[in-house]
Amino acid sequence: MSTEQQTFFRSLFRRKPIRASIHQGEVSEMKRVLTAIDLVGVGIGSIIGTGIFVLTGRAAAVNAGPAIVISFVIAGVVSAISAFSYAEMGSMIPIAGSAYTYALTTMGELFGWIVGWDLMLELLVGGSTVAVGWSGYLVHAFQAFWGVTLNKATTETPLEYRNNVFVINEGAYINIPAMLILACITTILVFGIKESSMFNNVFVAIKLIVILLFIFGGIKYIDKANYTPFIPPKKGNDFGGLGILRGAQKVFFAYMGFDSVTTTAQEAQNPQRDIPIGICISLLVCTILYIATCVVLCGVRKYTELNTSAPIPDSLSIHPGTRWLQILIYIGALAGLTSVLLIGLLAQPRLFMSMANDGMMPQAFARLHPKFKTPAFPTILCGGICIVLSGFLPVDLLGDMTSVGTLLAFSFVNIAVIIARYTLPDQPRSFRVPFGPFILPIIGTVISLKRSRVQEYIDASEEYGGYEDSKINGYSA
């Protein structure tokens, strides 16, 4: 092997010095205005989408019955394993690159490049998919409550992807609602991180209020008979103990999104302390809300009747005097999707910026707006790409793959924790993964790699059928 070849292969595994990463964050001109509460809002905004409004009922009806509560507990514990790894790495390397930077610092440029491009594809396609879901939910809400059918020509894409074949969607030309919501969010993100956080906190507050209204307002409609049997008898591969585990596999995707907290590290006031707080508290709050929603939902209506596109408002439809709450639930779902979109579009340009700072993207992606101190160019570029995808193309073609990208990043971050404990033992960490560097990170790596098998996820998506059901929350659930 020639000297040039040896130099090339060594460069593939060249690691970025951690001091360089930390210095990069210290000299950044980005505005450090986000508090711990703002970071919790980022986490909740990214995690809770229509997963809580759709997946709860669907998984109960198809997989576990009322025992879907146990499925959500299992999925929450499994998600926490990777969340702990993100919290440790985020407290140790507080810059915006997230999993990309962690892989670059601990494993080398090749692995950083793989994770970076993997996340870019996931975020771009995922943002478009969420926007299409937002548009579909808006159309459904108008039809369900006001009897208004929005024009198909301007609310759906002209192409669809069915059974591995492109087909013309007759009568559809452009998805204007999806394009408009993306354009609005992109504009907000350009104007500043504080303004973006304020809008996100408003949307988060709306959906939390709506969820709490359903939980406490639905309690009086609970029929204890609906909980029997709590664990339905096994039927094929569903229900029984196996059904609970299959339900946990499906709802695991509902917890994705907490990793977005780490992309705001350079805009947090105290990232070493607040990133672990933002990740852990947002995941805990969302887990409690998922479980409480499942308990009430399965009590309000029999689990066998929850396999609908909107199980929560549908569960209330049999009870008189609940129309106002059903309308609020649709509003909460739209707010949930909006916050997921906002955080996803916020994360994209910061990943581009970090890669540009490391020489893996053109320097134009690293420049900040002179007034707003945001990565304006990549924000506008990413928003523009998402607008085109959501307006004209069948994003469901790639939508099934977006969660696979996230899971691959999870596995790299878990591995990064193990490596960093030995290569960077003296680097200050405000948070450490419990039980040492092996137990939870190894478990998290195995679970993430297993769940990232493409066909298994596609099967899950097809079982729930369509963008409204399996690909919206955190670009997945």
Structural domains in the chain plus CATH codes: 31-475 (1.20.1740.10)
- Tell me the average pLDDT across 101-122: 90
94 or 455, greater pLDDT: 94
Q: How far apart are CA 93 and CA 262, in angstroms?
A: 10
Q: Is the pTM of this model over 0.75?
A: yes
User: Is the Cβ–Cβ distance between 49 and 403 less than 8 Å?
Assistant: no
Q: Tell me the pLDDT tens digit for each residue of 74-91.
A: 999 999 999 999 999 999
Q: Could you give the count of Cα atoms lying within 13 Å of 142 in the half-sphere of its Cβ?
A: 12
The Cα-based distances of 433 to 78, 99, 184, 468 in angstroms read 14, 16, 38, 35
pLDDT score at 401: 54
Q: Is the pLDDT reported for residue 456 higher than 50?
A: no
% of the chain with per-residue pLDDT over 90? 53
Using the 8-state DSSP alphabet, how is residue 51 labeled? Answer: I
211 or 465, greater pLDDT: 211
The tokens for 401 are: 């793959």
Q: Is the pLDDT reported for residue 160 higher than 50?
A: yes
379 CB-near residues (< 8 Å, 6+ apart): 186, 189, 190, 345, 348, 349
Closest residue by Cα to residue 411 from 109, 103, 161, 125: 103
Q: Tell me the pLDDT tens digit for each residue of 194-212.
A: 999 999 999 999 999 999 9
Q: Tell me the pLDDT tens digit for each residue of 434-444.
A: 998 899 999 99
Q: Tell me the pLDDT tens digit for each residue of 120-137.
A: 888 888 888 889 888 988
pLDDT score at 186: 96
pLDDT score at 452: 56
- Tell me the average pLDDT across 355-378: 92
419 CB-near residues (< 8 Å, 6+ apart): 106, 107
The Cα-based distances of 152 to 142, 158, 179, 333, 465 in angstroms read 13, 10, 15, 21, 20
Q: Tell me the pLDDT tens digit for each residue of 280-293.
A: 999 999 999 999 99
Write down the residue that tokens 């994003």 correspond to: 395
21 CB-near residues (< 8 Å, 6+ apart): 93, 95, 97, 101, 105
Q: Is the pLDDT reported for residue 427 higher than 60?
A: yes
pLDDT score at 70: 95
